[in-house]
Structure formats: C-alpha cells, structure tokens
C-alpha cells in the first residue's frame, strides 16, 4: 500500500518496492534520471501522459499515484495560509512545504481544522448568549433586582432623615429583591451546569454522529436481524455500549439514523440485496424497482452495507452518501476519498444533490469531476422526495439524497457499474467542495469569492 501523501513520494516508494533503479525507470519513460529525481521529490508537477507512463511502468493505476490526499492536504494548507495571513500561498509553495516537511504540513492542516472547530464553538456560545431566551430573561431579571437593591440601599444609606414608613418599605423591598436575586442566581447556575454537561451543544452533533458511524464501519450487524419489535432495544444497547461519549443531540441523531438503518435492513435483506447490486450494475433506480421501495432507501443501503456483508470484517462500502433538507442544509454525510466536503457551511451549488430538489422523485444520474490538479471523476445518483408527515396540514418537507462513488472504486466493486464509452453518462459536470475553497473560475453558481484564486 502506498502511504506517501504526495504523488512524487508515491512514485519513489513504488519504484523502491519493486527494486527498480531510478535511471532504468527514467529511461523506460523517456525522461532523464535527474528529472525523475525532481519528480520523486515533489519538485516538479506531474500529470497527463507521463503519469500514465510511470504508472504503467510501475504496474499500478495512475489514480493510485495521484489520488485524494494530495489535493486535500494542499487545499488545507492553502486555506490555513489564506485564513491567517490573508494571502493564500501559491500551490507551488504549499506543495514544496508538504514535500519537505510532510509531518509539519499535516500538523498545520490539523491545526487549521481545530481552529475551525473552536471558531464554531465560539460562534455557538456567542449565539447562545445573544439569543437564548432563558439566559436573556434571567439576566434581565438579575439586573433589574440588582438595580432595585442598589437604589433602595443607597436611599437608606444616603438619606439622613427618612420617614419611618418609607424606611420600612425600602427595607422590605431590599429583602424581597435579595430573595429574588438569590433565586435567579441559583436557576442561572443550574442552567449553565446542565448546558456544560451537554457538550454536544458546543460541537457539531453531526460531526459526532459521523465519527460514531465511521468508527463502526457505517454498519451494525446487530441491526440486520429481522425482528422489528426489539430493534429499539438493540439500538439503545448499541448506543449505550459504543456511543457513551456522544452528546445529547448526537445521541438522538444516532438513534434516529440507526432506526432508519434497521428499517432499511428489514426492507432490503443483506444477502439478497448484495447479490442484486452486482446483478443490476449498482443501479439504484433498477434496485428500487426490483425491491419496490424508495430509491433513497436503496442509496442508504448501498452506502452502508459492507462490500462483503457475510464476511466478519470485510471492506466498507465504496459509496459515499449525502442527505440535505429542503433548505439545502446537509443533514447527513458519509464522505469518500477525493470528494471534499465542507467542514461547516454550504456545499457546492452544482452538486446533483441540490439539482434533485428541483425535480422531485426523478433519479438524476450525473458524472461529476472534482476540481484541482488531481481531479477525480465520481458517478452520482440523486433523488429528492417528501419526507413522511403525520397530518394533512400542508406541503411535506423535502429531503434529497445523493450517492457518489469514484469511477475507479465503482469499477473495482462491480465491473458493469461503469459501461465503456466516453459518453456513457453524458457530459461531465464540474463540481467543487464549497465556493470558499474552490479554485474554479467563471462559475455561474459561485456565491462567494474563493480564497484560492484572485477575484474568485
């Protein structure tokens, strides 16, 4: 397995694994040994035919040398530079830094992610202070009591000759306000204590859910059992046993998602569904028709069912999944390598996920391409449909679901999933992660300037 994060490093590692001399590989690919040396040390860009030739000589797919991590690490470095100096480092500088000091580069990227999380926490706390109705009302009452106490106490101290009746009234007022203040302070402390316990309020509950599901391989064999009656108990047990660290909101999200997974498993039994996926070329529309069920359910099942469900510890599903509500807010995300998702905030408006919201019930199949030097093509299926509602009071809320898989992974998983021919899926659609970190220029869907390009 190639562990290096940059293309040059991966080429060198693979060459050394195979015991090929640098000069021999260079000759085979029609370049000088010195030039190959520069490539291997990430001092020269590589792509196109030369990348294909080198991959062929090294017996691997080109994507194995260039995929995923390069782009993500470089993007993280550029974002960190832009956020803290206001001047995004050039791609060459970031590449040079990552090549020379890979561990430091990883550290910078991790620190940037941590800073983003802390900034979000600060925003949440500020928002809470500004808008929490309980805090607002209680602080108002505390300040009113303090004002009253201050005024009455000052009158009693500063007025030399005060009518006994007024003195008695102010003493009584002082006593009343002191009691009110003590009660308000106590309620405030209790409230803040309970808020501190609920740490999920300060971090993103969805991130906790994502981590919880990822730690469990996005799959719970316990939920595959057919019985519906004790599913709730099994979910409670699983969350208590493996998700004790989850916050209050994340626990609720995890249970809701696991109920959905259990229902999906009952409707689409693992063995039968896994065989059908192969037989039907991983086509969610055909699978939905065959199993007479909601295409979104099929997509969830495809994303969460392990590649070999019968195996004790098989590889996870190669499919990623995104779910958004009618307002376009991401409510669920199962990421896949190479398809960058924004840590917070809105995603790329060009994702088929959002296009599906405009065409409810229609299953959209789109081939999309991620941006950057090491772009990857993903096959996506997206559908939007109304969510369940228990009354007839109005238009039901909409939800869109998108399944995505890289072409390479799709071929590995099921050879028929990607038919031959350049136009098998129609034109390639250019997408990004989010506008802020998207290097594409001239995009009609851009909503804010990119930190990676001048003028966006």
Cβ 144 to another protein shortest distance, Å: 5
If the CB atoms of residues 129 and 198 are measured against another protein, the closer one turns out to be 129
In the chain, what is the greatest distance between 2 CA atoms, to the nearest angstrom? 108
If the CB atoms of residues 143 and 415 are measured against another protein, the closer one turns out to be 143
Q: How many residues does the chain have?
A: 456
Binding to another protein, residues 132-161 (CB under 8 A): 136, 139-140, 143-144, 146-148, 150-152, 154-155, 158-159
If the CB atoms of residues 140 and 256 are measured against another protein, the closer one turns out to be 140
Cβ 148 to another protein shortest distance, Å: 4
Taking the CA atoms of 133, 134, 137 and 142 in sequence, report the sign of the dihedral they define: negative
Residue 402's nearest CA partner among 448, 455, 356 is 356
If the CB atoms of residues 144 and 203 are measured against another protein, the closer one turns out to be 144
CA-CA-CA-CA torsion for 201, 206, 208, 212, nearest 10 degrees?
Answer: 150
Distance (Å, rounded) from C-alpha 157 to C-alpha 167? 10
Place of tokens 């409670």: 236
Name 365's Cβ contacts closer than 8 Å, sequence gap at least 6: 285, 379, 380, 381, 425
Q: How many residues bind another protein (CB under 8 A)?
A: 22
**Residue 230 structure tokens:** 């004790």
If the CB atoms of residues 127 and 289 are measured against another protein, the closer one turns out to be 127
If the CB atoms of residues 147 and 278 are measured against another protein, the closer one turns out to be 147
If the CB atoms of residues 1 and 130 are measured against another protein, the closer one turns out to be 130
Query: Are the C-beta atoms of residues 235 and 262 closer than 8 Å to each other?
Result: yes
Cβ 142 to another protein shortest distance, Å: 8
* Cβ atoms within 10 Å, residue 300: 24
Cβ 191 to another protein shortest distance, Å: 17
Instruction: Using the rule CB under 8 A, give the single segment among 72-80, 84-92, 165-173, 194-202 that binds another protein.
Output: 165-173
Cβ 188 to another protein shortest distance, Å: 14
Cβ 186 to another protein shortest distance, Å: 19
If the CB atoms of residues 181 and 374 are measured against another protein, the closer one turns out to be 181
Cβ 116 to another protein shortest distance, Å: 27
- What is the x/- site pattern for another protein, positions 167-186, by CB under 8 A? --xx--x--xx---------
Phi, psi of 89 (to 5 degrees): -60, 150
Q: Of 101, 104, 134, 166, which one interacts with another protein (CB under 8 A)?
A: 166
If the CB atoms of residues 157 and 444 are measured against another protein, the closer one turns out to be 157
Query: Are the C-beta atoms of residues 402 and 334 closer than 8 Å to each other?
Result: no
If the CB atoms of residues 158 and 241 are measured against another protein, the closer one turns out to be 158
Distance (Å, rounded) from C-alpha 314 to C-alpha 306? 7
Sheet holding 377-386, edge to edge: 330-334, 320-325, 398-406, 377-386, 364-369, 428-430
Distance (Å, rounded) from C-alpha 165 to C-alpha 157? 16
Cβ 423 to another protein shortest distance, Å: 56
Cβ 328 to another protein shortest distance, Å: 28
DSSP 216: T
With 0-12 CB in 10 A as exposed, 13-18 as middle and 19+ as buried, what is 191? middle
**Residue 408 structure tokens:** 């390479």
Taking the CA atoms of 80, 82, 323 and 319 in sequence, report the sign of the dihedral they define: negative
| Site for another protein contains 121 (CB under 8 A) | no
Instruction: Using the rule CB under 8 A, give the single segment among 3-11, 166-174, 195-203, 329-337 that binds another protein.
Output: 166-174
Cβ 111 to another protein shortest distance, Å: 32
Q: CA–CA distance from 391 to each of 326, 360, 388, 395, 453 (Å)? A: 19, 20, 9, 10, 49
If the CB atoms of residues 97 and 191 are measured against another protein, the closer one turns out to be 191
The distance of Cα 165 from the centroid of its chain, to the nearest Å, equals: 68
Instruction: Using the rule CB under 8 A, give the single segment among 24-32, 163-171, 346-354, 395-403 that binds another protein.
Output: 163-171
Interface positions with another protein (CB under 8 A):
130, 136, 139-140, 143-144, 146-148, 150-152, 154-155, 158-159, 166, 169-170, 173, 176-177
């Amino acid at each position: 397995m190639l562990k290096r994060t940059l293309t040059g490093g991966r080429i060198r590692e693979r060459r050394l694994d195979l015991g090929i001399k640098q000069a021999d590989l260079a000759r085979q690919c029609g370049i000088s040994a010195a030039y190959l040396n520069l490539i291997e040390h990430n001092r020269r860009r590589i792509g196109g035919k030369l990348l294909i030739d080198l991959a062929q000589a090294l017996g691997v797919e080109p994507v194995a040398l260039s995929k995923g991590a390069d782009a993500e690490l470089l993007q993280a470095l550029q974002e960190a530079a832009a956020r803290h100096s206001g001047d995004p480092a050039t791609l060459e500088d970031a590449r040079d830094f990552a090549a020379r000091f890979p561990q430091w580069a990883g550290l910078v990227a991790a620190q940037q992610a941590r800073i983003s999380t802390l900034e979000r926490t600060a925003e949440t706390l500020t928002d809470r202070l500004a808008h929490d109705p309980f805090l607002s009302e209680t602080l108002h009452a505390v300040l009113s009591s303090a004002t009253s106490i201050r005024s009455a106490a000052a009158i009693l101290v500063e007025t030399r000759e005060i009518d006994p009746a007024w003195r008695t009234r102010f003493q009584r007022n002082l006593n009343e306000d002191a009691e009110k203040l003590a009660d308000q302070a106590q309620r405030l402390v209790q409230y803040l204590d309970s808020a501190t316990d609920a740490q999920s309020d300060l971090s993103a509950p969805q991130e906790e859910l994502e981590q919880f599901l990822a730690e469990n391989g996005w799959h719970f064999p316990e939920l595959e059992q057919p019985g519906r009656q004790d599913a709730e108990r099994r979910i409670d047990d699983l969350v208590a046993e493996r998700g004790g660290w989850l916050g209050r909101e994340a626990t609720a999200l995890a249970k809701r998602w696991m109920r959905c997974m259990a229902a999906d498993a009952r409707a689409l039994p693992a063995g039968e569904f896994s065989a059908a996926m192969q037989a039907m070329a991983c086509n969610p529309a055909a699978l939905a028709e065959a199993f007479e069920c909601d295409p979104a359910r099929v997509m969830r099942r495809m994303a969460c069912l392990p590649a070999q469900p019968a195996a004790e510890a098989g590889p996870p599903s190669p499919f990623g999944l995104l779910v958004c509500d009618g307002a376009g807010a991401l409510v669920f995300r199962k990421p896949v390598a190479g398809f960058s998702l924004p840590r917070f905030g809105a995603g790329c408006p060009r994702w088929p996920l959002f296009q599906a919201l405009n065409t409810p019930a229609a299953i959209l199949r789109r081939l999309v391409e991620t941006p950057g030097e090491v772009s990857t093509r993903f096959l996506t299926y997206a559908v939007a449909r109304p969510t369940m509602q228990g009354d007839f009071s109005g238009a039901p809320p909409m939800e869109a679901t998108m399944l995505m898989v890289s072409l390479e992974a799709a071929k590995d998983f099921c050879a028929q999933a990607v038919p031959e021919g350049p136009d098998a899926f129609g034109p390639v659609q250019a997408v990004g992660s989010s506008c802020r970190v998207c290097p594409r220029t001239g995009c009609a869907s851009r909503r804010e300037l990119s930190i990676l390009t001048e003028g966006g």
